[in-house]
Amino acid sequence: MKSMSSRARILCIELATNPQASLHADLEKRGYYVSLLSSDRTAQEEITSHALQIVVVNALLTPSRGEEICRALRSRGVDRPILLLLPQGIKASSHVQADMVLVKPFTIRKVVNRIEKLIAEPATHILQVGDIQLNCRTRLVQHGEGPPQKLTPTQARLLETLMRHPGQVLTRQFLMKQVWETDYMGDTRTLDVHIRWVREKIELNPSEPIYLTTKRRVGYRFAVPDTDDEAEKR
């Protein structure tokens, strides 16, 4: 049994108060420090001031707001793992901005296990390729010492997919499947437009990209400029 001092510090967001649906008391009984909020508005301030490690969004009584709250947390710059709790019969979308989703029925022990797992997992949400760094949780991308740029969810998924395959040419079909979850290839202008938008956020000269380059009639590649140059010389 872990001591109370070694337990996690949790931000629990419960949009509706009901003793039967609340997890606040159950988590505190297990030795956690729990900060309770009824909205996302002051979440970042609460996390910073109390060194909170994880966010639990309890949407058991307000399932329609669950994903909305997760999106709001990320848009407010919350860079902590998020556990979303949903009632039975509710399915989260494939692009839910939570690190893990639990759907009723589940026990408090299962919630605790998921909390401990999320805290113990290494931080794989920060991607770095050359001078480009992407925070997949907050959707902030930064080029060198420049200011962070905010990406839309689709732009972030596109850039994440490219950065997880550095140096590889990814076909249009692969990107459409990964980002838009479709096999339809009748019109890929949406992909081209999003590529342009991403270039505007990461390239010094989007018209002459050096990180995100085009492979004609095939797809796109994300790589460190020196890697590109060496590949072209071979």
- Beta-carbon contacts of 30 under 8 Å, excluding residues fewer than 6 positions away, are 7, 108, 112
Query: How confident is the chain (234 residues) per 10-residue block, as mean pLDDT?
Result: 62 81 88 93 93 95 92 91 95 90 94 94 87 92 91 95 96 95 86 97 95 95 71 43
Q: Which residue has the tokens 């001591």?
A: 3
Token digits of residue 78: 């919350």
Rounded CA-CA distance 140/80 in Å is: 14
115-124 pLDDT, tens digit per residue, is 999 999 877 8
Q: What is the pTM of this model?
A: 0.76
> Between the CA of residue 134 and those of 16, 36, 155, 159, 164, what are the distances in Å?
34, 30, 11, 8, 11
Residues 6+ apart with CB under 8 A from 69: 13, 15, 40, 57, 59
Q: Give the model's pLDDT for residue 6.
A: 56
> How does pLDDT run across 132-189, given as a tens digit for each residue?
999 998 899 999 888 999 999 999 999 999 999 999 999 999 999 999 998 888 888 9
Q: How far apart are the first and last CA of the chain?
A: 58
- Domains in the chain with CATH codes: 4-120 (3.40.50.2300), 126-233 (1.10.10.10)
